[in-house]
Amino acid sequence: MRRFAHDKEVSSVRYIESLQFISRYVKRPFSEKDILELQDTFLSNGFQFLRMDTIPFGRTVMETFLMLLNNFHDVACLTTSKDALPPMVSNIYQLLDQGGFLEPHSMLDFEEFFLEYFYYDFIWIEASYDLLSQPWYSYFEQKIVDLNLHERTPIIVLSYNQIS
């Protein structure tokens, strides 16, 4: 179980359903208004919620806007997908795994990760069922809030209509 929206405990499935409900749906073709709203989303600190049809489309949108805005120097993505990320994007999941932070009995803490190794100025989280069902994910998300990283970093949480 995890906490979401006013400390209610919900399962990962309910959490994904909640994300689908609160997320702004992004689809093609983009209107001028869509482009301006997405630009504002990318430039706003804190958690922003977007929903797209597929991971490839979501990644295309992320890469396109990050490139066009040319505002961020250290971009990271938290994903459990095996698909390669764009070359300029660090994979937080791989960094956590390689650093031993995801080991069940590890003495390492996410606070240490954020304080010692976290230098990113933009993050996106691919909120798949696989990621959200990880026992450590809610703690990871809570550390972002506890350390006020969301107050100085745009964090886009992407949910998808289909995983392919």
Residue ranges of the domains in the chain?
2-160
Average confidence score pLDDT of the chain? 82
Give the residues across from 47 on adjacent strands: 155
Tokens of 87: 């070359």
Please, how many CA atoms are within 13 Å of residue 88, restricted to the half-sphere of its CB?
Answer: 13
Q: What is the pLDDT of residues 48-107, one digit of tens each?
A: 988 888 888 889 999 989 998 999 999 999 999 998 999 999 999 999 999 999 987 776
**3 state SS of 147:** coil
Q: Parallel, antiparallel, or unpaired: how do β-strands 154-160 and 8-10 relate?
A: unpaired
The correct CATH number of 2-160 out of 3.40.50, 2.40.160, 3.30.420, 1.10.287 is 3.40.50
Distances (CA, A) of 152 to 43, 46, 77, 97, 115: 11, 7, 16, 25, 14
Per-residue pLDDT tens for 101-154?
A: 998 777 678 989 999 989 999 999 999 889 988 989 988 999 999 999 999 999
Burial of residue 48 (CB within 10 Å: 0-12, 13-18, 19+) is buried
Task: Select the more confidently predicted residue: 77 or 22.
Answer: 77
